[in-house]
Amino acid sequence: MNNARKKRQGIWTLAPLILWVIGIAGCVRSSYNQPVAMFTPSQAAVLVSPTSLPVDDTATLKASDTAQAVTPPATAPAPVETQLLPGTTLTPVEALNQQMELVFPLQVANSWVYDYQGYSGDTKAGWQVIDTMLEERQQNGLLAIKVERSVTLTSGTPGKDFINPPQAADFWYVLDGTHIYRQDELDWSKMDGSWLELTWPFPQQGCWYPDPTQRSTQAASIGQPGCRSAGDATAPVAIQTPSGLINGCYHLDTPYNDGPVRLDFCEQVGIVGGEFKHNGTPYGYEYTLLAYSLQNK
């Protein structure tokens, strides 16, 4: 059930995914423009990741739960080379991790704010979703970052039958050299059995299976259900968002039998948007980055 949820999420998995050596969101931890706004866990309602938004038939939100206004930054952050302290020695995996973090800024206190619009039948609703990185752990060269997802209803009145509304949840990104995995509960021993959100650099003529069961049983082939690809990975594009024009972006496409999932990822910023449109029934969602705040290391 976890994997079935994640494929339709895309914050979002999928939670509340959904990802170079790496790069969504320039972090290792570089210097950026002044953050437009800082968001603490207490300021956010809770969601799942941009690549995975699970269904919760018991969740009912009130339209009066309004999200706070956000002022987007004028420009995307500029890259800064990582510097090591004298005498510091990194293992090969740790060195790759640092390069990866320049692509996807995985650092405590970083935040991303999204506008999420969903529809289920004739019902439409909107939410503000905030991802905030809370905690960092390291073991055997691996780096794990805990993410809190908060969700606040901003429009509409979705009922219990609304399909896949964004949900509040905590999850982990685990950085292993050229791969970023996602776990609901941190388990260092289960990387092979974890959702593979991103792999960096993106394959130029290929794809990868985020779902661990597919990775272990099927050969990766573009166009096959569940195999995520970056199109022409040699030609990144610019994406216009409410937070500004962001360069170095890729449209990651994951086809499924019930409809394609798109995940938009930009180097040095992270996940900036995505969508899912169900084939055959009026159900889907779209989300876009409103603002983000990245800290110096």
Question: pLDDT tens, 154-192?
Answer: 999 999 999 989 999 999 999 998 899 999 999 999 999
Mean pLDDT of all residues in the chain? 77
User: In which domain, by residue range, is 105 found?
Assistant: 2-56+65-74+98-135+146-170+231-293
pLDDT for 102: 79
* Residue 183 lies inside a defined structural domain of this protein: no
* Span of 53-67, 90-104, 159-173, 195-209 with lowest mean pLDDT: 53-67
Is 251 a member of any domain? yes
110: in domain: yes
The confidence score (pLDDT) of residue 135 equals 96
Calculate mean pLDDT across residues 115-119. Answer: 98
In this prediction, residue 205 carries a pLDDT of 87
Across residues 20-25, what is the average pLDDT?
Answer: 34
Report yes or no on 30 lying in a domain: yes
How far from chain centre, in Å, is Cα 187? 19
Q: Is residue 84 part of a domain?
A: no
For residue 204, being part of any structural domain is answered with no
Residue 124 within a domain: yes
Confidence of residue 282 (pLDDT cuts 50, 70, 90): very high
Long-range contacts of the stretch 232-239 (C-beta < 8 A, 24+): 232/204, 233/201, 233/202, 233/203, 233/204, 234/204, 236/267, 239/264, 239/266, 239/272, 239/273
Convert the pLDDT of each residue in 45-80 to its tens digit: 333 333 333 333 333 333 333 334 444 443 444 433
Distance CA 51, CA 259 (A): 14
At residue 98, the pLDDT reads 74
pLDDT above 50 (res 259):
yes
Residue 212 lies in a domain: no
CA–CA gap between residue 89 and residue 277 (Å, rounded): 47
pTM summary value:
0.71
Which pLDDT value is given to residue 93? 65
pLDDT higher for 84 or 185? 185
* Mean pLDDT across 113-127: 97
- Structural domain count, the chain: 1
